[in-house]
Amino acid sequence: MILTVTLNPSVDRALEVDALVRGEVLRAADSHIDPGGKGVNVSRALLANGVRSTAVVPAGGAEGDQLVDLLKGEGVDMVAVPITGRTRSNITVAEPDGTVTKINEAGPTLSDVEFAQVSEAVLTAASSADWVVICGSLPPGPTVAAFSDLCERLVKSGVRLAVDSSGPALLAGVAAGAALVKPNREELAEAARTELVTFGDVVRACELLREAGAGTVLASLGAAGAVLVDDDGVLAGTSPVSAPRSTVGAGDALLAGFLAGGARGEAALVEGLAWGAAAVSLPGSRMPRPEDLDCTSIRVDRNPDRNRQLRRD
Dist CA 146 CA 133 (whole Å): 17
Render the burial of 98-119: b for 16+ CB within 10 Å, e for the rest.
Answer: bebeeeeeebbebeeebbebbb
Alpha-carbon separation of residue 260 from 82, 254, 255, 272 (angstroms): 30, 10, 9, 8
Cα–Cα distance, 46 to 256 (Å, whole number): 6
Task: Give the whole-angstrom CA distance, residue 198 versus residue 310.
Answer: 5
The runs of H, that is alpha helices, within 157-242 are: 167-175, 185-192, 199-211
Instruction: Please give the positions annotated as active site.
Output: 252
φ, ψ dihedrals at 301, nearest 5°:
-115, 120
The three-class DSSP label of residue 17 is coil
Neighbouring CB atoms inside 10 A of 248's CB total: 24
